[in-house]
A and B are shown apart, each in its own frame.
Chain A
Amino acid sequence: MPDLIHLTIDGRPVEAAPGALVIDAAKRAGIEVPSFCYYEGLTLAAACRMCLVEVEKMPKLMTACTLPVGEGMVVRTETPQVAQARKSMLELLLSNHPLDCPVCDKGGECELQDMTFRYGAGESRFTEMKVHVDEKQWSPVVFFDNPRCILCYRCVRICDEGMGVKALGVANRGVVSEIVPNKGDHLECDECGMCIDICPVGALTSGTYRYHTRPWEMEHVGTICTHCSNGCKTTLGVRNDEIIRGNNRDRSGINGEFLCIKGRYAFDFYKHPERLLAPLARVNGKLEEVSWAKALETVAGKFNEVRARNGKFGVIGSNHTTNEENYYLRKFARKVLGTGNIDHHRTGDVVTLLDALSGKTGKLATTADLYQKKAVLVIGADLALEQPFLAFQIRANWRHHQAHAYVVTAGPVREDKYAAASLRVAPGGEMDAVRSLGERLKAEPELVIVFGDAIKGEAVGRLVEFGESLGIPVQYICLVDDSNSRGAVDMGLLPDAGGMALPEMLAAGDLDVLWVVGANPVKTQALPAGRASMLVVHDLFLTETAQAADVVFPAASLYEKNGTVTNVCGEVQRLRRAIRTMGAKPDLEIMGLLAREMGVAAELGPWVPDTVFEEIRRNVRGYDVALPVLEAGGAAQTAALNGRLPLDGRPELIRSAHENLFTSGTLGRYSKILNSVVESHGNR
C-alpha cells in the first residue's frame, strides 16, 4: 500500500490515499463540503462550484472536487470567504429557479433545498424576469421540468457512463442550456430511471410517482427487488399499505444507486385488478371463491387421505418464493408427504457447476467481484438487457479499473463497446470460441467467468476444466433467471434419487396430488387430459396453472413478506415486508396453516421466517452466514463451498426464459407501468 498523504482540513489532521480528492478526504474526516455535480463514481464536472474551499498558498478558492490531496496541504472549508462563495452560488442557482417547492415532488428531500437551508441566503436580490420553459414528457416514466434544473449533469453522466446508453445530452448554451433526450422530443433508452433518482432537484421526475405524495408521508422500506436474479436492494416508499415508488437513493446494498426499469417502476403488479385475494376451489367444474377455512380443510383432507393410503404426491416449487418457503416446502414434502418428487423450473446449471467445483473453495464470484476483478468473460448472455446489474458492475469495473471484458455471444451486445474481445458464435460454438481466447485469458491476473444456459451439463464441466487450466485465479457465476432461482437449488427443490423431475410430474397420469407453490409450469407444458390428480396451486394471479387447479391459494409477493432470498451470485439478502394485501398470505403461512389443519404442525416447526432461517443456517451447507450483515441490509455470500449434490443435473431441463428489461412472463405482465413503457416503445 502506498504511503498516505497527510493534510490538514479545518485544523484537523487528515490522512488520505495519494490521488484522493480533497472533497472525499474531507468527507471521510466527517467534514461536509457541499456539492451538486460531484458524484462518486462519475467523471468530474466541476460545474456547480459549491465545493470551493480555501487552500493555503493558492491565490484563488479551489474546487475540492477536482483538487487531489497534497502532502502538507492546508484546507479550510468554513471561512467567511468560503461561506460567502457558497451563498453567492446558491443565490445564482436560485435566480432562475421557479421556487415551486410546495408542489415539487422533490420538496423535503431536495439537495437544493437542503443546501439553501444550510448555506444559502434568506432572501434573493434577483428581481429580473426568470427564464421559463414548459415541462416536457420524455417517456411514460420520465418527465423533465427544465426551470428546476441546476445543470449538474449527473443525469447525463450516469446515462452515458453508468448505463452505457448515452440517451441524454446538453443543448444550447449559456443560461438557456438544457438537458435534452436522444430522440428530439422523447427518450429511447433502457428507461431505467437512473437519471431521475440521481437528480438532486425536482427537474427529472418519475411518471409513476409525481404528484402522488410528499416524501415525508412515506415509510421507506429497504427490501430486495422481486424481478430478476441480480438481487438489487430497493427502497420502497410506502404510504397506507400502498407502494408509491421504488428507488435506492441511499445507495445501500450491493447495487448502490443502481436499479433497472423493473426494480424502479414494476412494483405495481400487486394491485393489478386480476390479483387473487381469496382462495378458489373448483365447485361443479368451476373455480369459485371460498373461505380460507374451506380451502385449507379441502386440501388438508386430501393430503391426509392420500398420505394415509401411501398415495403419490408431486411437489413443484418456485423461483420467486423465499428461502424459508422453499426450505419449508421441501421439508413438508419429504417429512409429511413422504415424497421425493420435488422440483422447480431450472434456469441455469448451478447443480453441475457446484459439482464441477467440488472440493475447491472461493470459486464463486460475488457481484462485488464483477466490479473488482481484473477480467471478466461473459458467455451466452446479453447482460445489459437480461442481467442489468451484473452488466452495470462490469461496466463500472472497466471505467474505474480498466478491467478487460471478453464477450462470447450469439449477437451484438452492449458490452461490445468496451470489450477487449467480442466473439460471435452460433449456438453450441461457445466452448470453441472460449478456447480461442485461451492465450489472452492466461495473461490476465484473474478472471470471472459468467455463463448463461448456453453452457450446461457436460459443457459446464469442460468450462471449469478450461478455467482451471488457465493457471490464474478463476471464479464463476452461473446465470439464473429469477429472484430466488439460486435459493431454490440451494434449498433442495430438486428430486431425490428416483424422484420425478418437473416434466415427469406434469406428464404423470398416476399422481394423486400435484402441489405447485408459486410456479406456472402449465404455461409451457400442458397437463394430461383426464388426469385424476388434485392440483393445488399458490399464486398471485390466475395463471395457466392456477386456471387448471382444483384449489388455488392467493399468495403474497416478495414485497408482502419477510424472509431471505439468494441472488445469482449466491448472496443472501433479507426481505422486509413493505405492505400487506388483504386476502393474500405468504406461502410460508399457507403451508403452516395447512400443516396445522393436517395435524402435522409439530413435525414441521413454526412457520416464522426468522425461525426457519435459523434452521436453514444450521442445516443447509454454506448458509451459516453472519446475521448482522443481513440485519444491516447487506448481502452475505453463502460460503463458497461447493460439493456434489446427490442428484442427476438433468441439463435438458435447464431453460432460461432470457427475459429482458421490457419483457417478463411472471410478474412484469401485471405491471401497468412496465406495460405502458413497452407499448410506447412498440409504437415507435
Chain B
Amino acid sequence: MLYNQPSPLETKVLTRRFGLPNSASLDTYLSTDGYKAFEKAASMTPEQIIEEVKISNLRGRGGAGFPTGMKWSFVPRKSPLPKYIVVNADESEPGTCKDRLLMENDPHQLIEGVLIAGRAVDSHAGYIYIRGEYRYLIEIMDKAIAEAYAHGYLGKNIRRTGFDFELYTHTGAGAYECGEESALLESLEGKRGIPRIRPPFPAVVGAFQCPTVLNNVETYCAVPPILRDGGAAFAALGVPKAGGTKLTCLTGHVNRPGVYELKLGFPVKTMIEEVGGGILGGKKLKAFIPGGSSCPVLTAAECEGLTMDYDSMAKAKSMLGSGGVVLMNEDTCMVKAALRIMRFYAHESCGWCIPCREGTSWLRKLLQRFHDGMGQRADIALIGDLAKNMLGRTFCPLGDAAALPTISIVEKFYHEFEDHLNGRPCPFEEAGRLAPV
C-alpha cells in the first residue's frame, strides 16, 4: 500500500509500479517488463554486468554512498568458497521509511536485483535480512519468493539459463546496530549483533566467512532498471558523480510527509516547498536533517542553494545518508531534539566499545537533566566535548552517528542551550507550542 499521494515532480524509476493494482504480484511485475533485466543479464558476462552498474554511477543507498559497481568488483572471482548476496533490509535509521515501501509494493524488483547481483559475482544463494519490526514484510517477501520459485525465477536452472539461485528471508530481532553490515552478518549467522573488525571487508570475508555482496534494498532495486534501460540512462538522471534517483522520505514538520522518488541533485528548497507542500502550520523552517538522524543538522540558512546529492551535502558538512529527511519548524526545541536523538542512540548502542556505550548513555542523562532545567553553563561545553570524544574513536559508525548531530546542534543552536540555563524551564514547552516527544 501507499501512504502518500505521489508528486508530479517525482521521477518514477524504482517506484514506477507503485499504485498499480496488485503491484506486488508476479503477474503485475511480468506485465511491466519484470524479469526482463535478468534475462538480459543472463546473456551478459559478469564483467559486463558490473561494467554496466559502474556506468550507471549507482552509489549505495544505505547511507554511506559507496559506488556499487566497485563494491561488486571486490568480490574475488576465483575464490573456491561459495559467495553470498545479502540484502540489508534492516531499515532502522530514524526518519527513513523507503525500503519497506519497495518491498511492500514491488518485492519482485528486489528479487530481480538480487538475481542480477548473484549473476554478476557468481553467487547462488542470497539472504534478505529484514529488521524485526518489519516482520509483516517477511510474509510479503516470502510470498513473492514462493511465486518466483513456482514460476522458475528462483531455484535451479532459472528460466533455462543454467543459473541457479536460492533466496531466503531472515529476520532481525530489533537492533539498529544490525543495520551495520558486519553486525548484520554476525546476526545472520545467529550470533550476537556486534560489528566485526574490518578489514577484511564482507566482499572478501562476509557471511559464513565467505565472499559476500551486501547492499541496501534500494540499491538492489535500482539494478533491474539499470540493466533494462542501460547504465548511461540511469546515470543521466542524477548528477555527475552519482546516477539515478533517490527515494526521499519527507518527515517531521511538513505538510505532505511521504516517500518521493527524486532525481539526485534535486533542490532542497523545491523539495520542501513543492514536493512536501511547505512547513507545517505555515511556520518557518528551523532545522533540517537531510538523511536520517545520524547526519549533522543543517539550519534553514544552510539549505539555501543546497541540492539533494552526496557531494552537495558533503560540501555543506552533512550527509545525504539514507534519504530520511527530517524537517523541524521554528517551534522545535533543539535541546529536546538533541535529547530525542541521543535517547535513540543510547538505546541502540550495542555496548561493545567504551566510547559509544558510556558516551551515549552519559549524553542522554546529561541532555535530559539539561532539558529539565537543571543545566549548568559548563554542561553545554561538556555535551559538545563528550560527543567529540566519541567521534571517530568508536568501533563502528554508531558512535559517529550519535556524535555528529549532537555536535552540530550544540554549535548551531548554542543560544537555545543558554535559554535553558539557571533553572529556567524549556522556553518552548513553556509556550505550550511543542508536541510531546
Contact = CB atoms under 8 A, between A and B. Distances in A.
A129 B365 contact: yes
Given A128-B369, A174-B347, A49 B197 contact: no
A128 B354 CA distance: 17
B362 A128 contact: yes
A128 B362 CA distance: 7
Interface in A58-95: 59-61, 66, 85, 88-89, 91-93, 95
B266 interface: no
A298 interface: no
Given A44-B197, A61-B393, A92-B358, A49 B353 contact: yes
Contacts of B347: 174
A151 B194 CA distance: 14
A48 B365 CA distance: 22
Contacts of A126: 362
A611 interface: no
Q: For chain A, which range describes its interface: under 10, 10 to 19, 20 to 34, or 35 or more residues?
A: 20 to 34
A284 interface: no
A172 interface: yes
Contact of B393 (A52, A128, A131, A172): A52
A173 B351 contact: yes
A298 B26 CA distance: 103
B175 interface: yes
B35 to A, nearest CB: 41
A150 interface: yes
B355 A92 contact: yes
B349 interface: yes
Contact of B389 (A88, A129, A151, A177): A88
A312 B244 CA distance: 103
Majority-rule SS of A interface residues: loop
Interface residues of B, number: 30
A551 to B, nearest CB: 63
Contact of A170 (B192, B349, B353, B360): B192
A174 B348 contact: yes
B316 interface: no
A176 B361 CA distance: 10
B360 A174 contact: yes
A93 B351 contact: no
Nearest to A45: B352
Contact of A85 (B177, B350, B352, B393): B393
B365 A128 contact: yes
Given A47-B352, A61-B392, A95 B362 contact: yes
A59 B400 CA distance: 14
B357 A175 contact: yes
Nearest to B382: A125
A177 B197 contact: no
A151 B357 contact: yes
Contacts of A61: 392-393
B359 interface: yes
B355 A47 contact: no
Contact of B351 (A49, A91, A151): A151
Interface string A139-179: 00000000000110000000000000000011011111100
A115 to B, nearest CB: 12
Contacts of B394: 49
Interface string B198-239: 000000000000000000000000000000000000000000
A92 B359 CA distance: 6
Contacts of A48: 353-354
Contacts of B197: 44, 46, 66
Nearest to B176: A173
A28 to B, nearest CB: 22
Nearest to A91: B389
Interface string B126-162: 0000000000000000000000000000000000000
Given A92-B359, A92-B362, A93-B358, A173 B350 contact: yes
Interface string B178-205: 0000000000000010000100000000
Contact of B349 (A44, A49, A95, A174): A174
A338 to B, nearest CB: 69
A29 B347 CA distance: 42
Contacts of B18: none
Contacts of A150: 354
B79 to A, nearest CB: 19
A150 B365 CA distance: 19
A126 B357 CA distance: 15
B355 A89 contact: yes
A656 interface: no
B354 to A, nearest CB: 5
A176 B346 CA distance: 10
Interface in B373-425: 378, 382, 389, 392-395
A21 to B, nearest CB: 11
Contacts of B360: 174-175
Contacts of A170: 192, 351
A96 interface: yes
A60 B392 contact: yes
B366 interface: yes
A58 to B, nearest CB: 11
B382 A177 contact: no
Nearest to A43: B197
A60 B395 CA distance: 12
Contacts of B353: 46-49
B388 to A, nearest CB: 9
B180 to A, nearest CB: 13
Interface centre among A170, A175, A177 (most CB of B within 10 A): A175
Interface in B55-104: none
Interface centre among A49, A169, A176 (most CB of B within 10 A): A49
Contact of B354 (A44, A49, A172): A49
Contacts of A93: 354, 358
Nearest to A88: B389
A128 B383 CA distance: 13
Contacts of A177: 350-352, 357
Nearest to B347: A174
Nearest to A177: B351
A479 B361 CA distance: 54
Given A89-B354, A125-B382, A177-B351, A46 B359 contact: no
A175 B395 contact: no
Contacts of A85: 389, 393
Nearest to A61: B393
Nearest to A59: B392
A173 B175 contact: yes
A49 B395 contact: yes
B393 A49 contact: yes
A305 B160 CA distance: 103
A128 B366 contact: yes
A48 B351 CA distance: 11
A60 B365 CA distance: 28
A49 B358 CA distance: 12
A391 to B, nearest CB: 25
B351 to A, nearest CB: 3
B361 to A, nearest CB: 4
Interface in A90-109: 91-93, 95-96
Q: Of residues A66, A89, A174, which shows the largest number of chain B Cβ atoms within 10 Å of its Cβ?
A: A174
Contacts of A169: 192
Contacts of B362: 92, 95, 126, 128
Counting from the closest, the 4 A-B pairs by CB-CB distance are A177-B351, A175-B361, A128-B365, A88-B389
Interface of B: 175, 177, 192, 197, 346-355, 357-362, 365-366, 369, 378, 382, 389, 392-395
21 contacts: A47-B395, A48-B354, A49-B353, A60-B393, A61-B393, A85-B393, A88-B389, A89-B355, A92-B354, A92-B358, A95-B361, A95-B362, A172-B351, A173-B175, A173-B350, A174-B348, A174-B349, A174-B351, A175-B351, A175-B358, A175-B360
Interface of A: 44-49, 52, 59-61, 66, 85, 88-89, 91-93, 95-96, 125-126, 128-129, 131, 150-151, 169-170, 172-177
Given A47-B352, A89-B354, 15 more contacts: A60-B392, A61-B393, A66-B197, A85-B389, A91-B389, A92-B362, A95-B362, A125-B382, A129-B365, A151-B357, A169-B192, A170-B192, A173-B350, A174-B346, A175-B360
